[in-house]
Chains A and B, each alone.
Chain A
Amino acid sequence: MNYILHSMSRILVTRPEHDPLTRHLSRWNSKIIEVAKSKGHAVTDLHKEKANKKEFEGRIKKLNPALVLLNGHGDESCVTGHDNEILVEKGKNEMLLKNKITYAVSCSSAKKLGSVCADSNTAYIGYDEPFALNLDRQFLSDPLHDMRAKNFLEPSNRVACSLLKGHTAKEASDNSKKAFKENIIELLTRKGNDPDAHDDAKSLFWNMSHQVCLGKEDAKL
C-alpha cells in the first residue's frame, strides 16, 4: 500500500456566533475543521467569545499558522470577531497576516485590508464588496440543513478545502468560483419559475464576481 505523507500545517479559524450570518458561517466552517483535522492539521478554533482580539493576536503570534480562516463582519479595512470586536485592521495589526494564506469571508475586506496584507510572501483571498448570503428563516437555528445557504457556503468552503488538498491560493479561488458557477447554473435551470432560485443565482454571481485572490497566488500549505 502506498502512503502519501502531507506535512502538517497549523490553521487558525475565527468563528464568532452572534447573529444569523456569523452563526451560519460558523456552523458551515465546522465542516472545514473536520476535514483539516482528518488530514492531520493542527486547528486552533476561536469559537464564539474566543473570537476576540486578545485571543486572536496571542494565538497568531504564538502559533504562526500557515492558514488563517476569518469568518465575520468587517469593512474595507478590518475583519471583526464575536460581537463585532475588531480582530485585524489595516494600519494597526495587519502584519499578523504576513507570510500566511488568509481566506476572509467578510464584508469588502479585500479592498483595503487585503491589499495591504498581500505581497510576494502573503496570499489574501476575500471579497472586495459585501458578501451576500440568502437564508431560509426556517433554518436559523439549524444552519447545516439550510439548503438555500448551502448554495452559498459550499462554494465558499471550497477555498479552504482546496487549500487543504494542496492546491495553490489561486487554484483554490478558481475552484471556489467554479463551484459558485455550477450552483448558478443549477438554480437557473431549476424546473418551474422559482423566484427564490433566481434571486439566489444573482447573489451567487455577485459573490463569485467579487471574490479576489491577492498577493502570492502560488502560495500553498
Chain B
Amino acid sequence: MSDNKQQLLQESLNDEEIRKLVLARLEVLSPDTIKCIGSEGSFSRDELIESVKRGDKIGKTIEQIEMEWLRALKGGIISELYSS
C-alpha cells in the first residue's frame, strides 16, 4: 500500500473514531476470548475493553493491530491473499 493511501486512511479516522471502532469490535467477541500480547500478559475481552478505554499500552497495541488490518484491507489484501 502506498504511503499516500496510508496517510489518507489515518486522516479519515481520528483517534476517537478508531477507539470507538476497536471497542465495537471487541464487544462482540466471545467472553471466552483471551488475548496474549507479547510480554504484556494475557487479557480477557473485558480487560481489553478497559485498556482501550484507558488508552494504555495494551489498548494502543490493539488499536495498532486494527489499523494495520484496515490499511491492508484498503490496500487490497483480500485479493492479494487469494491470488498468492
Chain A interface residues (CB < 8 Å from chain B): 19-21, 24, 73-75, 80, 84, 106-108, 129-138, 140, 148, 181, 184-185, 188, 195-196, 198-199, 202-203, 205-206, 209
Contacts and interface: CB of A to CB of B under 8 A. Distances in A.
B32 A20 contact: no
Nearest to B84: A181
B8 interface: no
Interface string B6-39: 0000000000000000000100111111111111
B61 A130 contact: yes
Contact of A203 (B28, B65, B81): B65
Contacts of B72: 205, 209
A130 B58 CA distance: 10
20 contacts: A19-B42, A24-B36, A107-B40, A129-B38, A130-B37, A130-B61, A132-B37, A134-B34, A134-B36, A135-B42, A136-B30, A137-B33, A140-B34, A185-B82, A195-B29, A196-B30, A198-B25, A202-B65, A202-B69, A205-B72
Nearest to A146: B34
A175 B27 CA distance: 34
A11 to B, nearest CB: 24
Nearest to B40: A130
Interface of B: 25, 28-42, 44, 61, 64-66, 68-69, 72, 77-78, 81-82, 84
Nearest to B57: A130
A203 B35 contact: yes
B61 A199 contact: no
A104 B42 CA distance: 19
Given A181-B81, A202-B65, A132 B35 contact: yes
A195 B67 CA distance: 17
Contacts of B81: 181, 184-185
B38 A136 contact: no
Given A19-B42, A137-B34, A184-B81, A195 B68 contact: no
A198 B29 CA distance: 10
B38 A205 contact: no
A131 B35 CA distance: 10
Contacts of B84: 181
A132 B36 contact: yes
B38 A131 contact: yes
Given A19-B41, A74-B39, A132-B37, A206 B32 contact: no
Nearest to A148: B33
